[in-house]
Structure 1
Amino acid sequence: MSSDSIEVTAPEALLDANLSFPEETPLIRHLTMTRERCVDPTLADSFLRLLRYGSDDSIKQRLSAYQRHEENSPFKNKRCGSFLRNELYPNWQARNRIITFCRNQLEDMKAELDEKYGQHSATPLKAEVDLRIDPYAAKDRQHEQENRYKELKRLNTWIENQIKIESILLANSNRTLQQNCDQNVNYINEFWKFHRATR
């Protein structure tokens, strides 16, 4: 069973005043993720858009900012390392936490629905209501069941889309980092090491 909510905060470096965001991008700095926010991911989408734009979509701009701030250090060393530790990896980690949380909620929801509506349900309709008193109960239950499974399907589609987007962005960022930092490093693998060490 997953937890009911998680708190996710945009990395401080992302909020650099020198980085201009598109007009339509709301600056959400902190997000409390709940099951409801997974099922209706409007806020999660805005937050993910902010994180993605502030890092992967402007990675060359961000690397240049680190180059200006650390003029005396070799670009491929300290500057890239600072960018990765302070900005990019915490950003990827925040996005991963949101998607993982919603994936866990999806699994919990599926288990709950299967238990309630599955063939081996512990609460058959007759135990819930006498059909002689409410002849529409069976139809209402069927309607509720269909809606719940549609909700589940929408959430599953959203999660799959987010995973695909992340995969593309991380691959593109990895290529950009190899061009501008150390070409022999797989920065995605390094992120997972960072993630395991800091969670």
Structure 2
Amino acid sequence: MSKPLPVDSTSLTPQFCFNERVLRDFLRLSRTTIDDSITQNLNALLKPAGEGFDPSSTHVRQLDATSKRKLSNKACDSFKDDVLFPAWQTRSDILNFCAAVATSPDPEDPDLISRQVESAKEHERVVNERLDPYSSRYFPREARTESLASLVRNERSVEQIIRARTWGVVAERCGTTRSWEDALDLWQEQRRIKSDSS
């Protein structure tokens, strides 16, 4: 299991955000690697050989025994600090950056002129609702910033659901009672203190 790479905010560009397929693919790949396979990732932390072999364990068939075993605090903390929280932080950083792009002016929008022309034509059009009651309907094309803002909102909702589900498994296996929000806040605070002191 590899550690997620931190996102350098200077390497992010608005083009990354406006390419919605690439943005979705990145988020999907990150979630698949860490969150969707959380049970396998946690099982990889078990070291059954360190506990020794119990011959009596072969008398009864063990069904999915590893998925319910508690992990050591050291293994859990290492996984959360080095893998889980950095992946979550990377996704949050990217969604925050793209949200800022979505709320910023977009002078380079390639469809801006065509939307303005369509809007001008629509205002000049003569509408006779008696002949065609639907002729007054006009649905302007959405600007790419509006589309991006909608995507970011949806992905943030998905992120909340995925984190809650992932944290449920982590809490069960690691024996933590803290919410994922509190645990992530604590990790971010510790990271800030560490970077300030160095």
TM-score grouping bracket, smaller chain normalisation: 0.5 to 0.7
Matched residue type, 1:40: N
Count of residue pairs brought into register by the alignment: 149
- Aligned mate of 1:52, from 26, 31, 46: 31
Query: TM-score with structure 2 length normalisation?
Result: 0.62
Gaps of 5+ in 2: 52-69, 122-139, 193-198
Distance in 2 of aligned mates of 1:95 and 1:70: 35
Matched residue type, 2:13: T
**CA apart distance, 1:68:** 3.1
**CA apart distance, 1:41:** 1.9
- Aligned mate of 1:192, from 185, 189, 197: 185
- Residues 1:40 and 1:14: Cα distance change in structure 2 (over 3 Å): closer
Q: How does 1:1-199 map to 2 (within 5 A)?
A: 12-13=2-3, 32-68=11-47, 71=50, 75-109=71-105, 139=117, 142=120, 149-198=142-191
Contact 2:103/2:145, CA 8 A, preserved across alignment: no
Matched residue type, 2:32: Y
Distance in 1 of aligned mates of 2:146 and 2:38: 34
Alignment RMSD: 3.6
Give the structure, 1 or 2, with the largest relative contact order (CA under 8 Å, sep 6 or more).
2
Matched residue type, 2:79: F
Deviating above 4 A after TM superposition, structure 1's stretches of 4 or more consecutive aligned residues are 29-32, 69-72, 140-143
Distance in 2 of aligned mates of 1:183 and 1:48: 26
Distance in 1 of aligned mates of 2:79 and 2:48: 11
Matched residues, percent identical?
24
User: Which has more strand, going by share of residues?
Assistant: 1
**CA apart distance, 1:57:** 0.3
1:103-132, CA deviations, whole angstroms, 9 ceiling, x for partnerless residues? 11112137x79xxx9xxxxxxxxxxxxxxx
Matched residue type, 1:41: E
1:120-159, CA deviations, whole angstroms, 9 ceiling, x for partnerless residues? xxxxxxxxxxxxxxxxxx737858xx65x52122111100
- Residues 1:142 and 1:150: Cα distance change in structure 2 (over 3 Å): farther
Query: TM-score with structure 1 length normalisation?
Result: 0.62
User: Which has more helix, going by share of residues?
Assistant: 1
**CA apart distance, 1:71:** 4.5
Matched residue type, 2:86: P
